[in-house]
Amino acid sequence: MVEGVKLRDLKLNKFLEFLFGIQSSSWTEGGHWSAQWVGLPSGDWMLLLILAMLVLSVGGWWLYKRDAQQVPLLRRTLLYTIRISIVFLVIAMLLEPILVLSKEEKIPSHLLVLLDTSHSMSLKDAWKDEAKATEVSRKLGMSADTDTLRNMNRIELTKKLINESFLKSLSAEGTRTVHLHEFSDKFNPESLKLSEEWNAAGNATAIASSLRQALLSYTGMPLSGVLLVSDGQSTAGEPPEEVLQMLSDEGVPLVTVGVGTTDGPRNVAISQVEVSPVVFVQDTNQLTIHIESRGMESEPATLLIEQRRNGGPWQEFSREDIVLNLEGSLQPRNYEFSETKTGKLEFRAKIMDAGPEISQDDNLASAEVRVIRQRLNVLFIAGSTFPEVQFLRNTFLRDRQINLSSWLMAADKTYEHPGDLPIRRLPVTQAELNDYDCVILYDPDPTQWPVNFPELLSNFVTKAGGGLVYIAGEMQTAQMFDRQSDPSLGWLNLLPVIREPGLFRSQVQIRLSARSPWKLDVTDQGFQDPIFTFSSDRQANEEVLNNLPGMYWHFPVTKAKPGATVLAVHADPRMRNEYGQEVLIASQRVGPGWSIFIGFDSTYRWRYLDEQFFDGFWARVIDRAGRSKQLGGNYPFRLSTPQATYQPGSQAKIIARFLDESQMEPGLQRLYGDVERGDDQPIPLTLTAGNKAGEFSATFPVPQPGTYFVRVWLGDEAAGATVKTATLPIKVEFPNKELENPALDEAFLQTMAVSTGGRVYQLSEANEIVDAFKIKQVSRLLEQRQEIWDAPLFYILIFGLLVTEWIMRKWCRLI
């Protein structure tokens, strides 16, 4: 490169422009020029060029020395010089010379401001350090009241920092151009405007990858630095080492601002106040408070539960000091209550003294309970008259806890059917039948029912949660069971017993059995069942059971259904089969409803011992059968999971917990259910009893993300296809790394900043951030390159030398 003089004189510039055939721009004024050779070879080719020029130089001199010996040395030297100059000029043109016009100027540098808008920036920090919270509030121009700070999430705090005044300070009176961008899992090349709403919704944070993408977007622009505003939680993308080395090599400092606190978001919430919406007077009921917490493991808090009756003043129900659990796990707290009067009862649960947290709005939850008397609507259908019918109807009419509607099928059309709610026909719609809580059938004749009554009865039990009590009689029962394959008798499948076809008893056996009364043999499960609780004292109760008058006739069945509870069997040792003593009383859940089978029709004889024994027994039977319908047709258990969500590939756990253990059938060991996801085939589940009384559980795999629907029912394994089931959706989703550890990672930000010559700042140091950037204007070299191999100067010189050589040769008489 050959340096020239500075272009100052305008005339000289014009003359040079003409000689070199160039056109200079206005920006070149006050600049410099230099010449370069585009075609100049390098390496071996350069050596060959030099040798060729030496050969031409020596060869040219040798030719002139041989051919022009008579010419004086001075003239010969002049001719040689002209000739070799022409050759060198041609070589110079072949080497493609160019003229470079250059000028240095000052321009603003570029400063990149990158804002983290990932999901973790939508969180609120508790700001446990009150002094630091006050300082941050003051530096961000907010009031000294730190409640305002705690009510703002991280992206809102960032917007408080990155305001118009802050950006103006970064621009350093126009010596820097500031570019504002957002990033989460990737860099957004579109500029972010202060007037827009900033949303923190990114699913991941890729700090290093976003930095690389930002640098590539501004390739060729002089950068004075990068300002990164983030909580430092990088959950995706490449490792930072490579891009930090790139910043360091280019001398671009990375300055970071940490948003948030190292404690991270802290929050405790009452997710649910779980209680039955309807309870009965005098019953023991359960209240469950479900608590969730984040970032507060092993922290103490106070749980206050208040209650009020019929809109009156709130009164303290319970106050308990608790220790919060691990993040992501539900923390249930169980309490029992009982009411002596009807009315509306409200519960309010509140978490107190938990310290600073994201929000206290979710620390309060409530639930409402309706306390009712146990007055059940009962439909009593009798196929014929019999002493059992008369006494049952009378005791139901006397019982003030029962609203009775009765229907005697053998009566004529003018008969007035007695009852608290008299009827003139049987129900013909589902709504009419569902108005009742319990249906009692005494040896009915289904041929006299409305055509759709069997279907209504099945839906009443399996879907509406109604109770069905069947009392066997001597007129119709045997005929019905002999025809149980008839579709119109499909409702017999609701009963908890099985009578296999071909079951036969001889007249001799019947006469032998009926010769003297036989007592009930109450099973262990029967002793535990409330319907056989004639006295609260166990010994007195057993004495009553042993003294109850026996029965003469009974209807034999083969066995109880799987899952049914046998409460009593025949005491006659001859009344047995391969499955044991014949079943006389059995009960079973059928979906949310209840079915009870009584295989004899002489409980009226118990009145001979005491009328209260007969009345109390039937009151408890109806209570057992109709209670779930009265409570809304729900199962007596609640489904729950120990975790709010699960990750794909893990094992989920479903728990069924009975709210009232008295609603459990004695000896119940398992519940059945299934779990399905989308269009996949349902996976059967068996929930087995655990260590806690009234609690059943099962685990199952959740290999893929999505919502899994768990269905659980009472009854046998196949009942789920026909009954209403208790259901619970379970969410299975990939972990949100943004929320796994959402605290401020100050160490990561510090490492990144220091490795590039920058530093990390806190929000409380907002006024010092601008001083971290030293570069303002930068020098830029402007160049204009023009080819001059065909410039007039070369042609003028070559032509002039050729003419001079011709004249010299004429003068020396060489031509």
Read off the pLDDT of residues 769-811 as tens digits, 9 standing for 90 and up: 988 898 888 877 777 777 777 778 778 888 888 888 788 877 8
Sort strands 97-116 and 176-183 into parallel, antiparallel or unpaired. Answer: parallel
What is residue 506's predicted lDDT score, i.e. its pLDDT? Answer: 47
Question: If you average pLDDT over residues 214-221, what whole number do you get?
Answer: 91
329 - beta bridge partners? 643
The residue with greater pLDDT, 805 or 633, is: 805
Contact assessment for residue 356 and residue 126, using Cβ atoms and an 8 Å cutoff: yes
Tell whether the model's pLDDT for residue 7 goes beyond 60: no
**Percent of the chain topping pLDDT 90:** 30
* Per-residue confidence band for 80, with pLDDT thresholds at 50, 70 and 90: confident
Contact assessment for residue 792 and residue 89, using Cβ atoms and an 8 Å cutoff: no
Helix axes 44-67, 73-94, angle to 10 degrees: 150
Cα dihedral across residues 198, 203, 204, 209: positive or negative? negative
One-letter amino acid for residue 122 of the chain? S
The residue with greater pLDDT, 717 or 287, is: 287
Q: For the beta carbon of residue 15, count every other beta carbon within 10 angstroms.
A: 11
For residue 591, give both structure tokens: 């979906």
What is residue 11's predicted lDDT score, i.e. its pLDDT? Answer: 59
Please give the Cα distance from 60 to 797 (Å, whole number).
19
- List, in order, residues 6 or more apart from 745 with CB less than 8 Å away: 231, 232, 233, 234
Please give the Cα distance from 748 to 41 (Å, whole number).
51
Q: Is 472 helix (H, G, I), strand (E, B) or coil?
A: coil
Least confident of 73-77, 130-134, 247-251: 73-77
Question: If you average pLDDT over residues 247-258, what whole number do you get?
Answer: 91
Tell whether the model's pLDDT for residue 123 goes beyond 60: yes
Most confident of 226-230, 331-335, 659-663: 226-230
Least confident of 27-41, 283-297, 462-476, 676-690: 27-41
For residue 529, give both structure tokens: 């069942």
For residue 255, give both structure tokens: 């300055």
What is residue 395's predicted lDDT score, i.e. its pLDDT? Answer: 93
34, containing H or E segment: strand 32-37
Q: Is 466 helix (H, G, I), strand (E, B) or coil?
A: coil
Task: Label residue 452 exposed, middle or buried (CB < 10 Å: 0-12, 13-18, 19+).
Answer: middle
Least confident of 157-166, 472-481, 511-520: 511-520
The residue with greater pLDDT, 631 or 682, is: 682
What is residue 15's predicted lDDT score, i.e. its pLDDT? Answer: 66
162 phi and psi, to 5 degrees?
A: -85, 80
- List, in order, residues 6 or more apart from 76 with CB less than 8 Å away: 64, 65, 68
Tell whether the model's pLDDT for residue 312 goes beyond 80: yes
The residue with greater pLDDT, 428 or 294, is: 428
Tell whether the model's pLDDT for residue 394 goes beyond 90: yes
Tell whether the model's pLDDT for residue 627 goes beyond 80: no
Q: Rg of the chain over CA atoms, in angstroms?
A: 49
Tens digit of each residue's pLDDT (9 = 90 or more) over 723-751:
778 888 888 887 777 777 788 888 899 98
What is this structure's pTM? 0.55
Sort strands 706-713 and 670-676 into parallel, antiparallel or unpaired. Answer: antiparallel
Nearest CA among 513, 514, 485 for reference residue 500: 485
Sort strands 402-408 and 376-382 into parallel, antiparallel or unpaired. Answer: parallel
313 phi and psi, to 5 degrees?
A: -70, 150
151 - beta bridge partners? none
Q: For the beta carbon of residue 84, count every other beta carbon within 10 angstroms.
A: 18
- List, in order, residues 6 or more apart from 349 with CB less than 8 Å away: 270, 273, 289, 303, 304, 305, 306, 364, 365, 366
One-letter amino acid for residue 226 of the chain? V
Nearest CA among 557, 625, 634, 537 for reference residue 279: 634
Nearest CA among 184, 278, 269, 277 for reference residue 231: 184
Question: If you average pLDDT over residues 686-712, what whole number do you get?
Answer: 89
Task: Label residue 517 exposed, middle or buried (CB < 10 Å: 0-12, 13-18, 19+).
Answer: middle
The residue with greater pLDDT, 73 or 670, is: 670
Please give the Cα distance from 162 to 180 (Å, whole number).
9
Most confident of 70-79, 96-105, 634-643, 756-765: 756-765
Least confident of 409-413, 521-525, 558-562, 800-804: 800-804
Tell whether the model's pLDDT for residue 512 goes beyond 60: no
In DSSP notation, 275-320 reads --SEEETT--EEEEEEEEEES-TT-EEEEEEEEEETT---EEEEEE
Contact assessment for residue 199 and residue 118, using Cβ atoms and an 8 Å cutoff: no
Q: What sections of 416-537 are H helices per DSSP?
A: 430-434, 453-462, 477-482, 507-514, 524-528
**Percent of the chain topping pLDDT 70:** 92
Least confident of 381-390, 456-465, 584-593, 652-661: 652-661
643 - beta bridge partners? 329
One-letter amino acid for residue 769 of the chain? I
* Per-residue confidence band for 765, with pLDDT thresholds at 50, 70 and 90: confident
* Per-residue confidence band for 463, with pLDDT thresholds at 50, 70 and 90: confident
Structural domains in the chain, sorted by start = 2-104+783-811 (no CATH), 108-261+743-778 (3.40.50.410), 266-373 (2.60.40.10), 376-630 (3.40.50.880), 636-741 (2.60.40.1930)
Please give the Cα distance from 35 to 90 (Å, whole number).
17
Least confident of 201-205, 580-584, 695-699, 708-712: 201-205
